[in-house]
Amino acid sequence: MIDPVLKDLLYECSGNTALFSKTFVPETVWRPFTAVHEELLSYLDNEGIQFLNVIAFRGFGKSTLIGRIRPLKEICYAYYPYIVYIARSWGNAVEKVE
């Protein structure tokens, strides 16, 4: 039987990418999120948004949040049967996934 507190945390993380990242990959997301990060994460957590164009400065964390943490969450919660990572080249895609 799973601990009820853990079960609640897992449920909360399923709809909250900020909480998921702080819980499961704290070594990657060690700084507090800014208001702008929180806004981006709210868009990522909104299932009604199919396409999102993110323009932010270098070092903001776009690749980390969108290219690493979000796919990790989708894999952990089995949202999709597979995830296709698209990059400018095969080598770049492999580098990002590793």
Mean pLDDT of 30-42: 93
pLDDT in tens, 71-80: 899 999 988 8
Q: pTM for the full model?
A: 0.82
Structure-model confidence comparison of residues 92 and 11, the more confident one = 11
Domain count, the chain: 1
**Cα 94 versus chain centre, distance:** 18
Q: Locate 93 and state its tokens.
A: 């895609």
Q: Locate 68 and state its tokens.
A: 């690493």
Q: Cβ atoms within 10 A of the Cβ of 18, count? A: 20
Per-residue confidence (pLDDT) for residue 18, from 0 to 100: 95
pLDDT in tens, 51-70: 999 999 999 999 899 988 99
Question: The domain containing residue 13 runs over which residues?
Answer: 4-97
Per-residue confidence (pLDDT) for residue 91, from 0 to 100: 83
Closest of 85, 30, 33, 34 to residue 63, by C-alpha = 85
Q: Which residue is listed with tokens 């698209």?
A: 86
